[in-house]
């Protein structure tokens, strides 16, 4: 895989964010969604063997990955100070001496900082000198079982506090009971409550049991105006995986072929190594093409991925690995 040109363009030069729109629910299209498990497994098994990305190209791809990270803290013991440290890391994600040694001169930031609603204003203040957007997990994250009206109010509060991206969680029950109309209705209301803020629909794929459900839920959320579809909260038993990603990327491709709309993709939860990141980038590149490898259409939801990427970049520059604790996140 050749290295990306313009690996991590400054935010103001990035592609303008496209918006999806609400379209009518097409239940026949939902019913037509399939997932062939053995074909999916064969496709994923072929990934690491067929493509290896080495040295300079790998460093370029890892810088691209950094620009697509939603740098995340979603813990019960989060504090304003932790969020401020995370924001500082998002604004300078890779040490300047490493960037200098690689001859990398473009500004580099993460794609966003992702926090609970409580810390949106803290993050907005801490990032005020940057163009980095704040993403809020709203709608009763992670289970999504708060009363519907409260979920809509939480979205409105996050937007009012300055969140430019809202990561909503769907009600898994709607998928598990095949109630696609309820899922569509819910998602449409979330989309409307977000206003100008971009909305990412978290499917919680580890909870919805089958890849066919993943394909159908992806399609319903896109019809209901989701700007991104996202795998997981990071709190399910199983979070982002490559097979689930393949199903969601193909749903995005089908939706694009049918509507011309570009919907983004966000694998989240458990993506923690540079090698993982490269596999996801390769899969997205092969399934959707380079257009989807920009921060307006691709993000990693990750709390610890950046530390491993920085470690690998340090190894690329110095030939030595440093301890993970030399790359604190927050």
Ligand X SMILES: O=C[C@H](O)COP(=O)(O)O
Residues lying near ligand X in the complex (CB under 6 A) are found at: 72, 74, 114, 233-234, 268-270, 272, 301-304
Is 167 tagged catalytic? Answer: yes
In order of 23, 213, 265, 307, the CA distances from 93 in angstroms are 38, 36, 22, 9
Closest distance of CB 142 from ligand X, Å: 8
By C-beta, is 184 or 298 nearer to ligand X?
298
The dihedrals phi and psi of 55, each to the nearest 5 degrees, come to 45, -120
- CB 79, min distance to ligand X, A: 17
Least distance in Å: CB of 148 to ligand X? 22
Minimum CB separation from ligand X for residue 94, in Å?
Answer: 18
Among residues 70, 89, 151, 167, the one annotated as catalytic is 167
Integer Cα distance of 43 and 246 in angstroms: 9
Give the residue with the Cβ less far from ligand X, 233 or 245.
233
Among 272, 212, 201, which Cα is nearest to 243's? 212
Residues 168, 145: Cα–Cα separation, whole Å: 12
Cα(214)–Cα(33) distance, rounded to whole angstroms? 9
Residue closer to ligand X by CB (options 33, 232) is 232
> At closest approach, how far in Å is the CB of 27 from ligand X?
30
Residues whose CB falls within 8 Å of the CB of residue 216, separated by 6 or more in sequence, listed in order:
30, 31, 33, 175, 180
**Inter-residue contact 145 to 177 (CB < 8 Å):** no
Nearer to ligand X, 210 or 304 (CB): 304
78 counts as catalytic: no
Q: Which is nearer to ligand X, 30 or 249 (CB)?
A: 249
DSSP type of residue 15: P
Nearest to 172 by CA among 118, 214, 228: 214
Q: Cβ closer to ligand X: 225 or 330?
A: 330
Backbone angles phi, psi at 128, to 5 degrees: -60, -30
Q: Closest approach of Cβ 268 to ligand X, in Å? A: 4
Q: How far apart are CA 225 and CA 294, in angstroms?
A: 20
Sequential DSSP letters for 134-167 = EEEE-SSTTTT-S-HHHHHHHHHHHHHTT-SEEE
Closest approach, Cβ 247 to ligand X, in A, equals 19
Q: By the 8 A CB rule, do 86 and 113 touch?
A: yes
The one catalytic residue among 64, 89, 216, 266: 266
Active-site residue, selected from the candidate residues 70, 230, 296, 308? 230
Distance CA 87, CA 151 (A): 26
How many whole angstroms separate alpha carbon 239 and alpha carbon 140?
A: 18
Verify whether residue 261 is a known catalytic residue: no
Report residue 20 CA to chain centroid gap: 16
- CB closer to ligand X, 72 vs 110: 72
Active site members = 167, 230, 266
């Amino acid at each position: 895989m050749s290295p990306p040109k313009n690996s991590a363009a400054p935010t103001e030069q990035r592609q303008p964010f496209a918006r999806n729109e609400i379209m009518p629910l097409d239940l026949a299209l939902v019913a037509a969604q399939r997932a062939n498990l053995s074909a999916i497994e064969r496709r994923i098994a072929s990934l690491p063997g067929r493509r290896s990305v080495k040295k300079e190209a790998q460093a370029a791809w890892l810088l691209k990955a950094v620009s697509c990270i939603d740098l995340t803290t979603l813990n019960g013991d989060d504090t304003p100070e932790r969020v401020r440290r995370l924001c500082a890391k998002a604004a300078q994600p890779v040490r300047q001496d490493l960037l200098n040694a690689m001859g990398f001169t473009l500004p580099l930031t993460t794609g966003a900082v992702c926090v609970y609603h409580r810390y949106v204003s803290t993050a907005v203040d801490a990032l005020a000198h940057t163009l980095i957007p704040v993403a809020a997990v709203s709608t009763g994250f992670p289970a999504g079982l708060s009363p519907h009206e409260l979920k809509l109010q939480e979205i409105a509060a996050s937007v009012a506090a300055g969140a430019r991206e809202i990561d909503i969680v769907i009600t898994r029950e709607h998928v598990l009971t095949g109630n696609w109309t309820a899922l569509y209705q819910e998602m449409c209301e979330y989309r409307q409550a977000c206003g100008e803020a971009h909305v990412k629909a978290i499917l919680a794929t580890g909870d919805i049991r089958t890849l066919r459900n993943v394909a159908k839920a992806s399609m319903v959320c896109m019809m209901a105006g989701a700007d991104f579809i996202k795998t997981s909260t990071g709190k399910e038993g199983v979070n982002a995986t490559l097979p689930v990603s393949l199903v969601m990327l193909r749903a995005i491709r089908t939706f694009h072929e049918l509507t011309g709309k570009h919907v983004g993709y966000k694998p989240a939860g458990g993506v923690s190594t540079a090698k993982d990141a490269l596999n996801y980038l390769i899969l997205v590149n092969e399934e959707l093409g380079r257009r989807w490898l920009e921060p307006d259409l691709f993000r990693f939801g990750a709390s610890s991925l950046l530390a491993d990427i920085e470690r690998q970049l340090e190894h690329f520059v110095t030939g030595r690995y440093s301890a993970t604790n030399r790359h604190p996140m927050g």
